[in-house]
A and B are shown apart, each in its own frame.
Chain A
Amino acid sequence: MKYLGLVLANLRRKKTRTLLTVGSFAVALFLFGLLAAIHFAFYQGIEVAGVDRLVVINRVSIIQPLPVSYRERLLQMAGVQAVTSANWFGGVYQDERNFFPQFAVDHETYRDMFPEFVIPDQEWAAFSSDREGCVVGAALAQRYGWKLGDRIPIRGTIFPGIWEFNVRAIYRGSRPGDDEGQFWFRRDYLEERAPQWIKGLVGWYTVRVADADTAAAVARAIDDRFANSPFETKTEPERAFAASFAKQMGNIQALILIIGGVVFFTLLLVTGNTQALAVRERTTELAVLKTVGFSDHLTLLLVLAESTLVALVGGVAGILAAKLVTPGLTQALPGFTVYLPTADLLMGVALALAVGVAAGILPAVSAMRLRVVDALRRV
């Protein structure tokens, strides 16, 4: 700590340069934070997927339905503990831009299948007793200012007409990043008003297995059970299902990695050059420090401390700024939960520190190797 004053004094030497370097780190880490949050938005299903849940869809495509009768047959299979189903509704609230997912769910089983979504018993009871009731996520309710008792009109696209729902419950995620942007309503309401072609059919099943270790075997057994039937199935663990769903949007992960890599590499070059310049400018001063007894290693650490401190201050500022703006992005991007997980936040700070050290290492080594006699002779 006694050397901190010396490190800070050197950083104050060229205030504009230091501020610009700190700013470079802040901007880079802000971008990293946003990319990490967007990555989470695309892959959140994978992050929060239950290890003991399987998703059963039509083997042809997810848009092809499955018979409602499969529920009982699934429940009879060994290793299956619970089954629920849902349909994609695909309606529009007021304007096409107001996208959020709407599911017609089996209100008797859906809540138990997804305990990570917390709903007060009283509200769930109100939803269960109202055929036109709906459950909305807290973020969704906040975005549109909905509250319990509100009547929400949704224009059907797959299922024509104006569908009106009563907000009976608001759910909250129990973990950071849980999707609070969904809209659930009762499948029996859909069944009642939907066209003939969808009656008796569901979009997909979610199955809970008794033992997560047997999930793969149970998935195979389900697909074997319905093989060679008019509705063959494709069963995957929820995590794999979410991953393949995310892949349909393109390789977002690779894109983010490329952008992030380019940003950090550029930052490394810019900071490294700045630090090298800063060290070259004070060759004599470094020689004087060594003359009075500062060891080679201490000199190296002092130079490294400067670039690391700049990286830390800029990195923390940038990543915290990203953390602050992500709730606003969730509001601005309907259908996505833009969230910066703590692990990514810490990784960002670690990356900033790594770039700080990498940028400072060459100038620090040259400062360490500086020969006092040569440096003083240059004066």
Chain B
Amino acid sequence: MVRVDGVDAPETLIQVRNLDKRYQRGSEEIHVLQGLNLDVTPGEFVAFMGPSGSGKTTLLNLLGGLDVPTSGSITVAGDELTRMSAAKLTRWRARHVGFIFQMYNLLPVLTAFGNVELPLLLTKLNRAQRRRQVETALALVGLADRMDHYPRQLSGGQEQRVAIARAIVADPSFLLCDEPTGDLDRASAEEILDLLTALAKEHGKTILMVTHDPRAAARADHILHLDKGVLVETAGEGARP
């Protein structure tokens, strides 16, 4: 279930209340988010749409603990993000959030295996356990045979699949995707969307995705539009009752 009206939903994974975010650009104050509310229960696939500058990425950054709101609260799995120190927020992010970027953002000096292993270096898993998890994640995205390849040896679609493997390898509470198909051709974009859909439908992953692409958004269970700093819901193709 996804709600944007500020009414508490049962068993929410993510609860956002009265979220405000203002930027100072020179002498001008930009009020990006204005009292935004959001409730997301586990396993939902949510797409955020809106024109450029509407605050989609800002919202994603706030939900991922990369930025702090001007006011309001964000609670994820019972943890109130706005009360956490920067160090605690970093540890929280490692445990709860998987990030997928438009430009993949893989480390070019590491192989696919090395890139996917990165989040696991922060855990107490030993080398063998890390290897097993990385191999599982890469197999899940269909790249078991490419684990020794460097990013420059992979296509855009394959790079994004490695990025998805990196995002899911530590089994985070939810995935944040910022334009995950924005840099891909249609076929590759479809592959990535198939993968994200499978992660949501078959593996119960909660996915929050920012996109400009209506076809990508249509794969989500819920499509939320950012309008004047607040969210408005419209149903997606895969919408659940």
Residues in A lying within 8 Å of B, measured CB to CB: 2-3, 5-6, 9-10, 12-13, 284-285, 288-296, 372-373, 376, 379
Instruction: Check B94 against A373 for contact (C-beta < 8 Å).
Output: no
What is the CA–CA distance of A3 and B117 in the complex, to the nearest angstrom?
11
Contact B66 A372, beta carbon cutoff 8 Å:
yes
Contact yes or no, A373 B61, CB < 8 A: yes
Q: How far is the CA of A3 from the CA of B66 in the complex (A)?
A: 23
Additional pairs, 18, CB under 8 Å, beyond known A285-B107, A290-B90, A373-B67: A2-B121, A2-B127, A6-B118, A13-B109, A288-B101, A288-B105, A288-B107, A289-B107, A289-B118, A291-B64, A292-B93, A292-B118, A292-B122, A292-B166, A296-B86, A373-B61, A376-B66, A379-B101
Q: Is the CB of B91 within 8 A of A293?
A: yes
Smallest CB gap from A2: residue in B: B121
Partner of B66, one of A13, A284, A289, A373: A373
Report chain A residues within 8 Å CB of B90.
Answer: 290, 293-296
Q: Please name the residue on chain A nearest to B61 by beta carbon.
A: A373
Contact B93 A9 (CB under 8 A): no
**How many residues of chain B get a CB closer than 8 Å to chain A's CBs?**
26
Are B122 and A293 neighbours in the complex by a CB distance under 8 Å? Answer: yes
| B174, chain A: closest CB distance, angstroms | 14
- Residues from chain A with a CB closer than 8 A to the CB of B67 are 373
Contact B119 A293 (CB under 8 A): yes
CA separation between A54 and B176, bound complex, in Å? 81
Chain A residues within 8 Å of B61, by CB: 372-373
The verdict on B114 contacting chain A, using a C-beta distance below 8 Å, is yes
The reply to whether B87 and A291 contact each other, CB–CB distance below 8 Å, is no
Do A293 and B94 touch (CB < 8 A)? yes
- Give the complex CA separation of A158 and B87 in angstroms: 79
A293-B119, A294-B122, A295-B90 as given contacts; A9 in contact with B105, CB under 8 Å? no
| Residues in B neighbouring A9, C-beta threshold 8 A | 107, 109-110, 114
Q: How far is the CA of A289 from the CA of B66 in the complex (A)?
A: 12
Contact with A along B83-108 (1 / 0, CB 8 A): 00011001101110001010101011
Q: Which residues of A sit under 8 angstroms from B122, Cβ to Cβ?
A: 292-294
- A-contact 0/1 string along B64-82, CB 8 Å cutoff: 1011000000000000000
For residue A243, give the distance in angstroms from its CB to the closest CB of chain B. Answer: 54
A373–B178 alpha-carbon span in the complex (Å): 13
Across the interface, B99 reaches (CB within 8 A) one of A3, A12, A292, A294, namely A292
Question: Which residues of B pack against A, CB within 8 Å?
Answer: 61, 64, 66-67, 86-87, 90-91, 93-95, 99, 101, 103, 105, 107-110, 114, 118-119, 121-122, 127, 166
Complex Cα distance, B109 from A376, in Å, reads 19
Assess A5 versus B94: contact at CB under 8 Å? Given A288-B107, A373-B61.
no
Could you write out 18 A-B pairs with CB less than 8 Å apart? Answer: A2-B127, A6-B118, A9-B107, A9-B109, A12-B109, A285-B107, A288-B101, A291-B99, A292-B94, A292-B119, A293-B93, A293-B94, A293-B119, A294-B90, A294-B122, A296-B87, A379-B101, A379-B103
Distance between A310 CB and nearest chain B CB, rounded to angstroms: 15
- B66 / chain A contacts, CB cutoff of 8 Å: 291, 372-373, 376
Complex Cα–Cα for A296 and B91 (A): 11
Contacts of A2 in B (CB 8 A): 121, 127
Known: A12-B109, A292-B166. A6 touches B121 (CB 8 A): yes
In the A-B complex, the 7 residue pairs with the smallest Cβ-Cβ separation, listed nearest first, are A293-B94, A9-B109, A288-B105, A292-B119, A372-B66, A373-B67, A13-B109
CA distance A284 to B104 in the complex (A): 11
Closest to A10 in B: B109
Bound-state Cα–Cα, A325 to B109, Å: 38
In this complex, what residue of B is CB-closest to A372? B66
**Contact partners of B94 in chain A: CB under 8 A:** 292-293
With most chain A CB atoms within 10 A of its CB, the pick from B87, B101, B121 is: B121
Residues of B within 8 A of A12 (CB): 109
Does B101 contact A376, Cβ atoms closer than 8 Å? yes
Chain A residues near B109: list those with CB within 8 A. Answer: 9-10, 12-13
A6–B86 CB distance below 8 A: no
Instruction: For the complex, give the distance between the alpha carbons of A203 and B86 in Å.
Output: 76
Residues of A within 8 Å of B99, CB to CB, are: 291-292
A5 touching B119 in the complex, CB below 8 Å, given contacts A293-B93, A373-B67, A376-B101: no
Give complex CA distance A28, B121 in Å: 36
A294–B66 Cα gap in the complex (Å)? 12
Q: Which residue of A lies closest to B90 (CB)?
A: A295
Contacts of B107 in A (CB 8 A): 9, 285, 288-289
Which A residues lie within 8 Å of B119 (CB)? Answer: 292-293
Bound CA span A289–B61, Å: 15
With A2-B121, A3-B121, A373-B61 in contact, do A284 and B114 touch (Cβ < 8 Å)? no
Cα distance A291–B67 when bound, in Å? 11
Q: Shortest beta-carbon distance, B116 to chain A, in Å?
A: 11
Question: What is the distance, in angstroms, from B105's C-beta to the closest C-beta of chain A?
Answer: 5
- Closest A residue to B127 by CB, please name it: A2
Could you tell me the distance between the alpha carbons of A253 and B44 in the complex, rounded to whole angstroms? 74
Residue in A closest to B120 when the chains form the complex, CB atoms: A2
Residues of A within 8 A of B87 (CB): 295-296
On chain B, the residues within 8 Å of A295 by CB distance are 87, 90-91
**Smallest distance from the beta carbon of B74 to chain A beta carbons, Å?**
15
Q: How far is B105's CA from A376's CA once the two chains are assembled, in angstroms?
A: 9
